[in-house]
């Protein structure tokens, strides 16, 4: 099934690029003032139809269908969790740092995840018990998060959502480490940790479940962790779909990141 999900994500990416390369994105705004484009909706409708054809017995929760009542979804033991265009702000800025995210959730845990980057054609994917991989030009490379860290710490931060708490956390880290801070958009921030391009990603700001689920599976299968600030794994299909603040850590940074947190939150 993972191969079919990779194909679905790639095809959704092509539909996003059709809009990306056009003159008008037809930008609208949702109730929370987050942007919505023709590309979000084109990707959503394609993925929804493709997943329903592939697995009609598995329900789908997408960012663009988040109105499904908790009374209906609370009994889902397995479901697809989709962000049809993660990083709409990056899409509008035309910086290429947006993704298609598709995750399979079982009993609150992501057991399969695909993150596709339409502009580059790069795909990250993982399946529980099979490891995490990066597919580039048709070739898969196994991902392993960092197991050692030097005095220079690579930290990835949000391109559009860095705030005072993140700044305070970074300032605390900078007392003991030389920081190389890299900004990225969308779920690519989590993938940076999975592929050992970054050691740590603090997310001390709001995100939704569809923003993180696919990439969490990739991080975990690469040996890293995506946890709340109390060090428990993020879980899915909560009544409130808002994620708590979280930390994405490699095996190297897992033992000490909490030591720098009290100044930030």
Three-class SS of 138-203: CEEEECCCCCCCCCEEEEEEECCCCCHHHHHHHHHHCCCCEEEEEEECCCHHHHHHHCCCCCEEEE
| pLDDT at 185 (0 to 100) | 82
**Is residue 28 one of the residues assigned to a domain?**
yes
pLDDT at 164: 86
Number of domains in the chain: 2
Q: Same domain for 89 and 162?
A: no
Last residue of a domain, one of 84, 113, 142: 142
Q: Which of 109, 142, 175 is the last residue of a domain?
A: 142
Look at residues 111, 142, 173 and tell me which one is the last residue of a structural domain. Answer: 142
- pLDDT value of position 258: 95
- Give the residue ranges of the chain where pLDDT is below 70: 25-36, 158-162, 263-265
The pLDDT of residue 161: 57
pTM: 0.93
Question: What's the pLDDT at 90?
Answer: 86
**Do 196 and 124 share a structural domain?**
no
For residue 147, is it within any domain?
no
In this structure, are 134 and 189 located in the same domain? Answer: no
pLDDT at position 264 is 47
Enclosing domain of residue 238: 152-260
DSSP strands (E only) in the chain: 28-29, 35-36, 60-62, 78-86, 99-106, 109-117, 122-127, 131-136, 139-142, 152-158, 178-184, 200-203, 225-228, 246-249
Asked if 164 and 115 sit in the same domain, the reply is: no
CATH number of the domain that 40 lies in?
3.30.540.10
Distances (CA, A) of 77 to 60, 72, 105, 107: 12, 12, 8, 5
Per-residue pLDDT, 26: 64
């Amino acid at each position: 099934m993972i191969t079919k999900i990779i194909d679905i994500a790639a095809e959704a990416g092509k539909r996003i690029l059709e809009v990306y390369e056009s003159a008008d994105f037809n930008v609208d705004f949702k109730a929370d003032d987050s942007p919505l484009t023709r590309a979000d909706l084109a990707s959503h409708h394609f993925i929804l139809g493709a997943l329903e054809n592939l697995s009609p017995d598995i329900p789908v929760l997408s960012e663009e269908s988040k109105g499904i009542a908790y009374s209906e979804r609370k009994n889902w033991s397995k479901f697809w969790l989709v962000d049809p265009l993660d990083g709409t702000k990056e899409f509008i800025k035309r910086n290429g740092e947006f993704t298609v995210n598709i995750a399979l959730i079982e009993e609150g845990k992501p057991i399969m995840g695909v993150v596709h980057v339409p502009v580059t054609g790069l795909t990250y994917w993982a399946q529980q018990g099979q490891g995490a991989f990066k597919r580039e030009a048709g070739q898969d490379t196994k991902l392993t998060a960092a197991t050692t860290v030097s005095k220079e710490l690579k930290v990835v931060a949000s391109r559009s959502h860095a705030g005072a708490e993140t700044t305070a956390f970074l300032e605390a880290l900078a007392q003991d480490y030389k920081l190389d801070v890299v900004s990225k958009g969308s779920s690519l921030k989590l993938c940076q940790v999975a592929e050992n391009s970054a050691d740590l990603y603090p997310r001390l700001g709001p995100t939704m479940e569809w923003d993180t689920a696919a990439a969490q599976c990739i991080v975990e299968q690469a040996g890293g962790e995506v946890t709340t600030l109390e060090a428990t794994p993020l879980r899915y299909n909560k009544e409130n779909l808002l994620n708590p603040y979280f930390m994405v850590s490699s095996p190297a940074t897992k033992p000490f990141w909490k030591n720098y947190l009290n100044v930030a939150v």
